[in-house]
Homo-oligomer: A and B are copies of this chain.
């Protein structure tokens, strides 16, 4: 008999048939117990924690995942992307998926606009998808989604945006290139009407994410990447509520005042021009 609940709890997993599950649970108990000892968590604090998790559970519905939000604001979601990444610094950094990738994006042709509403600053995003050795990857897919110039995704305001607004599934051309028209996205707050919002308020944290466009790039024989391109100069780049910013993913959304180029690209003048090249890692 041991009087040490940590040793007893770790030992209790010894017969777990799945080796990986055993390791994960043993290490989870190790770190969780180290936390409790470290802060000498009191029974009252433990009870508050149970109440908080219960409230997080109660806030989860078909359309709302408050546990993901909790993982996001604790930096865990972002960290999982980091530790899952390979070591090659040339490969485009991954970052969080976020809650707004809902179903399949509408298939669109290079040069199409994903802005079905208008009203924001016109913007052209273009780049190439390449392998680490520089080989362009024709036929790669780019699933993109973003909020509008007021910070709302289509699914959040179905009365103001048609389904598929701000979304598109593009395929790279023979040179590995892609291009689409859109509007400059705005920073937006994560939902604060649940227990995670209470946590942000209690810790004096703002709920904003810096403006970004989501991208999932995939090509045959390569590891897909889930990432963002962030708008340089955004006031929340240093304090993203979900800690998803990577320096390597920030791009200038350059102002271009050139009526001929605007006409060529099919946008109003002036417009913003963004270059976002993506590098994928070959699968083994």
Contact = CB atoms under 8 A, between A and B. Distances in A.
Main secondary structure of the interface of A (DSSP, over half): helix
B41 A35 contact: no
A253 interface: no
Interface stretch (A69-77, A175-183, A213-221, A255-263): A69-77
Contacts of A102: none
A247 interface: yes
Interface residues on A, range: 35 or more
- Oligomer: number of copies: 2
Nearest to A25: B203
Interface of A: 1, 3, 5-6, 8-9, 12-13, 15-18, 21-25, 27-43, 45-46, 50, 53-54, 56-58, 60, 65, 67-68, 71, 74-84, 93, 202-205, 237-240, 243-248, 250
29 contacts: A1-B245, A1-B247, A3-B248, A6-B79, A8-B243, A9-B78, A9-B79, A16-B204, A17-B204, A21-B203, A24-B41, A25-B203, A27-B38, A27-B39, A29-B75, A31-B31, A31-B38, A33-B79, A36-B83, A40-B83, A40-B84, A43-B84, A46-B71, A46-B80, A50-B71, A53-B53, A54-B67, A56-B57, A57-B67
